[in-house]
Amino acid sequence: MSDKFLDFQENNEPQRFEDFKEPLIFGNEEKIKSINQASSFKGKSILKKDKDKDKTQSKFAVKINVPEDHHSNQNNEQQKEEIKERRKRRPQFKTVKEPAELKNRNLLDLKMDNNDSKNEQNDQQNGEKKFVRKGKRSTTLIEKCKLSQKLLSAEMDIQVNQEKLIIEEKGNPSKKYKPTKMLGSGSFGSVYQAKNTIFQNTVAMKVIKKDPNNELDEQEIKNEIDILKKLSHPNIVKIYEFYISNSHYYIITEFCKEGELFSYIKNKYSENQLAVLFYQVFSGLWYLHDNKILHRDIKLENIMISKKEKDNRTGEELFWVKIIDFGTAKIFEKNKKEKDVVGSSYYIAPEVLKQNYNEKCDTWSVGVILYMMLVGRAPFDGKDDEEIICKINTADYNSKEPRLLKHSPEVRDLVDKLLQKDIDKRYSAKEALNHPWFNKFGGRSLFSNFKREEIEPYINNLFNYSFNSKIQQLVIAFLVHNLPSNDTSIHILKLFRYFNKSGNCKLTKEELMNGLYDYRDKNEVNNCVDHLFTLLDGDNNGYIEYEEFLRACIDKKTILTHTYLKYAFKFLDKEKTGTLNTQKIINAFVLNPNKLLEAVFNNTLNSVDHDGDGIINYEEFQELMLKCMN
């Protein structure tokens, strides 16, 4: 990237309110200082047929004993002739070879060799007969069914891996992304608002310069990327792709157009509005902690407003929010305390300063933010950093603050539970999410802010969800993750959150079933819920995440367009040959491939490989994907 690009609008940094200081970062200031919105962009292989015939019997061959036909009249020639005629009319079957012996061949269409007469004679001498015709050995129906079941089982075991949906590229992203505005900069990098030239949507792009003399910085950047790749939650910023050049890292994420929560601190909000906002924050935190991830820098600047909408009942403005900036995040071990001092002034928990903390340091930070939104100032402030740290260490905030007393006893109790100095007494994210304040003030009201007729089409799509092959499911997963959000996805998100009563965005089978009862007959739901849940759970982890739900509810016509399918085809065709084969698809989507999986994918590709050359072009790929809509 050119220096001109890196210095793009460098003098247009956002202005801060004077009421709050620029947050102080503890630890190595140069390494972990957060920047505003830092994370919110923040040729042909020809299939040859065997010329040499296999002389050996397939391991899958099944012998069937055919008993002699007995009749009351043994000498009846007419009956014998009828038996012979019936045997002639018996169906002819094809045989298969051991899957481990196959490569780039359709497993169910392989033929046995013609020269198996010796094996047939041996079978007949043993009193056993096979269905044969013209010297060819044929697979029995039982064998074919067993093999089909084996392939089907192998296909169902293929998981949709979240990390494989993230695009990794080498070089500079300037051909695909054009910067339009600088959002912030610091010693650790710069953040730009940028335009995707393919889809014409806005993204955020974080640009970090490589330091070859500092391996620790390099590792922290890679750590941020690795953590973002693991996350799939509607209240956590989504990463689309990342680029690595010789001099820079580029992280492309969602753009939250309504800005950071810091910009809204001076406004007054009802407890209903705040309950909706903080319900989402705690939902995101619970998801992080449940996946053993510490954020360690929760603050006003790292909670972004992605969308606003009016409450249909009260007319109030409600916020959709996302947690950003995972530059200091870390995967933690249960029952093991962390020691690195990481965080921002005002928000840092006292146990972090004492270098003995766990994931509840994040809920302390949310407690600080909740107090700020209620009162308009920080619970632990001071004239300088030393005074701020001293107050944080005592954890003695002013619970008698008049502006705090104006609010309900429920929200004051929640603040007190979050700002507990004793970690064992402090609320976890899960406990906070179940606090009575959210029930009383409609913390979940945003998720039911829809009309039934708006949701009905997506319920129909959900009930009709199916796919003909795993390749279709994998490609749809890739498209759903990488395509820009729209009003359709917001309606589906509301439906998903409405079903997910626990609030952790991990939809269980019971929650799915109870949610569907509101829209369909109970018997109909009971008959299909097991099958539907299995189809939706693409990664086989026992619950349904939001993107898995979105894949089923979205109208396939909106994503299986020429533009989007061409985008997916280019993603799979990394060598730019203009064709796809099994190996390319496996490399793109599968972590642990095997021979049986190759056979599954070969079967799928062969169904549209009209010239039988073992590869498919874009038109054949398009034909395969459009079968989803039939």
In a shared domain, residues 394 and 529? no
In a shared domain, residues 517 and 404? no
DSSP per-residue string spanning 557-614: HHHSSHHHHHHHHHHH-TT--S-B-HHHHHHHH-SS--HHHHHHHHHHHHTT-TT-SS
Among 415, 447, 479, residue at a domain's last position: 447
3-state secondary structure 190-235: EEEEEEECCCCCEEEEEEEECCCCCHHHHHHHHHHHHHHHHCCCCC
In a shared domain, residues 441 and 485? no
317 DSSP 8-state letter = E
Q: How far apart are the C-alpha atoms of 165 and 435, rounded to whole Å? A: 35
- In a domain, residue 616? The reply is yes
In a shared domain, residues 269 and 417? yes
For CA atoms 27, 32, 33, 37, the dihedral sign is negative
Is residue 546 within 8 A of residue 232, CB to CB? The reply is yes
Q: Which two tokens stand for residue 291?
A: 């996946």
Among 447, 479, 510, residue at a domain's last position: 447
- In a domain, residue 541? The reply is yes
User: Could you tell me which of 297, 353, 357, 364 has the C-alpha nearest to residue 325?
Assistant: 297
CATH classification at residue 576: 1.10.238.10
Burial of 270 from C-beta contacts in 10 A (0-12 / 13-18 / 19+):
middle
Helix (H) or strand (E) holding 330: strand 330-331
- In a domain, residue 496? The reply is yes
Give me the half-sphere count of Cα atoms (radius 13 Å) on the Cβ side of residue 540.
9
Considering only CA atoms, give the Rg of the chain: 31
User: What values do phi and psi take at 67, rounded to 5?
Assistant: -70, 150
Per-residue model confidence (pLDDT) at position 597:
83
User: Could you tell me which of 427, 472, 402, 439 has the C-alpha nearest to residue 626?
Assistant: 472
CA distances from 360 to 142, 352, 353 (A): 58, 10, 14
Per-residue model confidence (pLDDT) at position 599:
87
Neighbour count for residue 616 (Cβ, 10 Å): 25
In a shared domain, residues 539 and 618? yes
Each residue's pLDDT tens digit, 319-335: 999 999 999 999 999 88
- In a domain, residue 617? The reply is yes
The question of whether 297 is a catalytic residue gets the answer: yes
Q: Which two tokens stand for residue 468?
A: 């003909």
In a shared domain, residues 355 and 476? no
Per-residue model confidence (pLDDT) at position 80:
61
Q: Where are the alpha helices (DSSP H) in 382-486?
A: 385-394, 402-405, 409-418, 429-433, 436-440, 452-463, 470-482
In a shared domain, residues 477 and 610? yes
Q: How far apart are the C-alpha atoms of 348 and 37, rounded to whole Å? A: 19
DSSP per-residue string spanning 180-191: EEEEEEETTEEE
Helix (H) or strand (E) holding 535: helix 522-536
Domain that holds residue 597: 452-629
- In a domain, residue 381? The reply is yes
What type of residue sits at position 413? D
In a shared domain, residues 389 and 375? yes
Per-residue model confidence (pLDDT) at position 95:
36
- In a domain, residue 309? The reply is yes
- In a domain, residue 193? The reply is no
Each residue's pLDDT tens digit, 498-519: 999 999 999 999 999 999 999 9
User: What pTM does this model have?
Assistant: 0.77
Looking at the DSSP bridge assignments, the partners of residue 26 are 343
In a shared domain, residues 525 and 591? yes
Per-residue model confidence (pLDDT) at position 12:
42
Is residue 555 within 8 A of residue 566, CB to CB? The reply is no
Looking at the DSSP bridge assignments, the partners of residue 236 are 323
- In a domain, residue 252? The reply is no
CA distances from 572 to 568, 569, 605 (A): 6, 5, 14
Among 447, 462, 486, residue at a domain's last position: 447
In a shared domain, residues 265 and 386? yes
Per-residue model confidence (pLDDT) at position 136:
42
Q: How far apart are the C-alpha atoms of 421 and 424, rounded to whole Å? A: 9
CATH classification at residue 339: 1.10.510.10
Residues of the chain with pLDDT below 70 are 1-157, 187, 216, 630
In a shared domain, residues 463 and 429? no
- Pairing type for strands 239-244 and 167-170 reads parallel
Question: Between 452-463 and 522-536, two packed helices, what is the crossing angle to 10 degrees?
Answer: 70
In a shared domain, residues 431 and 292? yes
Per-residue model confidence (pLDDT) at position 502:
95
Torsion from C-alpha of 28, 218, 363, 206, nearest 10 degrees: 110
Count the domains in the chain: 2
Looking at the DSSP bridge assignments, the partners of residue 323 are 236, 303
Q: Give every CB contact of residue 604 below 8 A, 6+ residues apart in sequence.
A: 468, 469, 470, 471, 624
Residues in the chain, overall count: 630
Catalytic residue chosen out of the listed positions 297, 325, 362, 609 = 297
Per-residue model confidence (pLDDT) at position 596:
82
